[in-house]
Amino acid sequence: MSNEFRSGYVALIGKPNTGKSTLMNALVGEKLSITAHRPQTTRHQILGIKTTAEYQCVFVDTPGIHDDNQKAIHRYMNRAATGMLEDADLICVLLDVANFNRDDEKILRRVSSYDKVLLVINKIDQLSKSACLPLMQKISEQVPDFESVPVSALKGENLDRLEQLIVARLPVGVPHFPDDQLTDKSMRFISAEIVREKLFRVLKQELPYSITVSIDHYLEETDITRISATIWVERKSQKAIVIGKNGGLLKKIGTLARGDIERLVDARVYLQLWVKVREDWADDEQSLAAFGYSDGNPSH
């Protein structure tokens, strides 16, 4: 490899829940993108930028590609998921080693015409080596043209090797961002996402999918950051569930979110949460635009 500076965009794509956001956070070394054990957690493209003396790698976390196009929000998510395949310098397709199926095959067919693809076989920590090997072989046989690398994003296994493979494929060029910039998103955006993450982790069944979070006020004072956020639900009945008995659930979500935001901003945080209803916001283009789900990379 030459000593020239390398710089480029690396799309992290794959079906929902394969570990794209976990991987981006691990590679950048900061929690920029929220994660949860449920599918369809990520809803936007989110950049995670890693800059060293030798390279700048702009990772693009994306929503999981899925067939559910029922609501306007799903269509927005699928556009965000695949919207940068053309422009990326490298496409990393994430696969869950223990859960490779037709949805992955479909995604692989979709990228088969590109020569800039690297398969990242994730979650190898979940299986023994002897169980992993035949599964990895099966995946490689299906797409023999693509190089693959086994990793565990969660445990940090083999990420050095992955990074080497990625950097070797970046074009020589100048950085796209200042060397201290970590993401394209604002603290407001990330704070709203952190609240949404806690809702995804705490609430059961389908309810998280009916929720979005907006930031009403974000005020940095010398010794405290004051944030007021609204949790939007689609139905009145959902509001009561989010609030919980005596406000208990909302309080729990607030405490969890505050802790994460404090770590991120490295200051004390006062977080105020409200719950409001906007009927069927997830299938209403106007509401979606108001909540930042509009094409052209939101950074609200």
Ligand X SMILES: Nc1nc2c(ncn2[C@@H]2O[C@H](COP(=O)(O)OP(=O)(O)OP(=O)(O)O)[C@@H](O)[C@H]2O)c(=O)[nH]1
Binding site for Mg ion (CB under 5 A): 20-21, 41-42
Contact status: 40 vs ligand X (CB under 6 A): yes
- Going along the chain, which residue ranges are E strands? 6-14, 46-51, 55-61, 90-96, 117-122, 147-150, 212-220, 224-233, 268-277
Query: 258 by DSSP, 3-state: which?
Result: helix
Q: What tokens appear for 188 in the block? A: 């407001």
Write the single-letter amino acid at 259. G
In the bound complex, what is the minimum distance in angstroms from residue 122's beta carbon to ligand X?
A: 5
Choosing from 7, 45, 51, 122, the residue that interacts with ligand X (CB under 6 A) is 122
In the bound complex, what is the minimum distance in angstroms from residue 34's beta carbon to ligand X?
A: 7
Alpha carbons 281 and 62: distance in angstroms, whole number? 21
Contact status: 212 vs ligand X (CB under 6 A): no
Stretch that binds ligand X, among 37-45, 210-218, 249-257, 269-277 (CB under 6 A): 37-45
Contact status: 50 vs ligand X (CB under 6 A): no
Please return the burial class of 117, using the count of CB atoms within 10 Å of its CB with bins 0-12, 13-18 and 19+.
buried
230 binds, among Mg ion, ligand X, none (CB under 5 to 8 A by kind): none
Q: What is the largest CA-CA distance in the chain?
A: 63
**What would the x/- binding string for ligand X be over residues 69 to 108, using CB under 6 A?**
----------------------------------------
Specify whether the CB–CB gap between 163 and 133 falls below 8 A. no
Side-by-side strand order, sheet with 224-233: 212-220, 224-233, 268-277
Stretch that binds ligand X, among 9-17, 101-109, 204-212, 257-265 (CB under 6 A): 9-17
In the bound complex, what is the minimum distance in angstroms from residue 217's beta carbon to ligand X?
A: 28
Write the single-letter amino acid at 142. Q
Total of residues contacting ligand X (CB under 6 A): 24
Comparing CB distances to ligand X, the nearer of 135 and 269 is: 135
Contact status: 230 vs ligand X (CB under 6 A): no
CA nearest to 4, candidates 174, 164, 149, 162: 174
Choosing from 152, 212, 214, 287, the residue that interacts with ligand X (CB under 6 A) is 152
Specify whether the CB–CB gap between 24 and 12 falls below 8 A. yes
In the bound complex, what is the minimum distance in angstroms from residue 241's beta carbon to ligand X?
A: 22
Comparing CB distances to ligand X, the nearer of 7 and 17 is: 17
Stretch that binds ligand X, among 119-127, 181-189, 245-253, 277-285 (CB under 6 A): 119-127
Contact status: 148 vs ligand X (CB under 6 A): no
- 243-248 long-range contacts (CB < 8 A, ≥24 apart) are 243/275
Binding site for ligand X (CB under 6 A): 14, 16-22, 35-37, 39-42, 63-64, 122-123, 125-126, 152-154
